Amino acid sequence: MNELRLFTTIRCDPALLKAPDQQFVDLGWNQNPSPFYMLDFHRDRMLNGAIHWGWDAAVRTLEGDGGLKTLETFLQKNMPEVADTPYRAKVLIDKDGVLSVIKGPTAQVNLNNLFPYHLPVPSDHDVKGSSEGNVPERNFEFEILVDRHTTAKSEFTHFKTTHRPMYEEARERVGLLNYTDKKEVLLVNSEDGSVMEGSITTPHFWRNGRWVTPPIPKNYDISQGSGGNYGTSRRWALERGLVVEEIIHVDSLVDGEEIWISNGLKGFVHGKVKLI
């Protein structure tokens, strides 16, 4: 294994500066204008990983108000293009606390998909009022596939690190070789056949009249949860009551069912399950 690093991928978008003035509320970090999407949540999950592995230098870089300011300043210095166009910033940190970034352009996203008031119910359950407020666009944009193999949960599925063979292999098995494709694959827990997560997203399923997402403990515990990543958009949705935690067995998935997936780059994206 190459030297392990923790990473997170952050949306850097000038459109985020307008969110507080456009009737968006409860924005967390972005309530005070910032071009960096959920920056504090991104910092928190890297910090949790550094604490887990005992990377004292990385903890010192990231912890407290000073650590959050360090990360913000690092992005401001390394993302000058953010004044003109949305960018993705893959921010990495090593055990010595050294930050680095890989950057590139990313697609425009509707602010409603970044800060939804709620997730609209599936089309065949639609009721009056379900599309009121700041809700994300529902357009079946992504095709959600299911891995034919299972994956063992571990610290490498709980924390986001550069050790990612389980995700790459899952993508390869269903033919996903390009990250620009509007497709995603769900990983399946080898212990109980439950959905863990997507290869680059958190999935949200409609069950018993509400949106649910696989359970993941805040602090790593291999005996708890479905084994997925403690992601940023997932945390945002849970803290605001858009979703609740529930085990989702892969056998319960229905071909064509509507689903929401989310991450800290694209926000909340609509799609449908395709069973192969």
What is the pLDDT, as a whole number, of residue 141? Answer: 84
Confidence label for 130 from pLDDT (cuts 50, 70 and 90): low
- What is the 3-state secondary structure of the chain? CCCCCEEEEEEECHHHHHHHHCCCCCCHHHHCCCCECCHHHHHHHHHHHHHHHCCHHHHHHHCHHHHHHHHHHHHHHHCHHHHCCCEEEEEEECCCCCEEEEEEECCCCCHHHHCCCCCCCCHHHCCCCCCCCCCCCCCCCEEEEECCCCECCCHHHHCCECCCHHHHHHHHHCCCCCCCCCEEEEEEECCCCEEEEECCCEEEEEECCEEEECCCCCCCCCCCCCCCCCCHHHHHHHHCCCCEECCCEHHHCCCCCEEEEEECCCEEEEEEECCC
Q: Any idea where the domains of the chain sit in the sequence? A: 6-105, 111-273
Query: Which CATH class name applies to 111-273?
Result: alpha beta
Q: Could you tell me which residues come within 8 angstroms of residue 111 by beta carbon, excluding any fewer than 6 positions away?
A: 15, 16, 18, 19, 22, 24, 134
- Dig out the tokens for 157 from the structure: 């599925």
pLDDT band at 127 (very low <50, low <70, confident <90, very high): low
Report pLDDT digits (tens) over 171-205.
Answer: 999 999 888 889 999 999 999 999 999 999 999 99
The answer to whether the CB of 241 falls within 8 A of the CB of 232 is no
What's the pTM value of the predicted model, to 2 decimals?
Answer: 0.94
DSSP-derived pairing of the beta strands 267-273 and 258-263: antiparallel
Determine the average pLDDT of the residues in 253-270. 97
If one compares 139 and 77, the residue with the highest pLDDT of the two is 77
CATH number assigned to the domain with residue range 6-105, chosen from the 4 options 3.30.470, 1.10.287, 2.40.128, 2.40.50: 3.30.470
pLDDT, position 22: 85
Average pLDDT of span 152-174: 97
223-241 pLDDT, tens digit per residue, is: 999 999 999 999 999 999 9
pLDDT digits (tens, 9 = 90+) for 89-120: 999 999 999 999 999 999 999 999 999 999 99
Residue matched to tokens 């407020």: 133
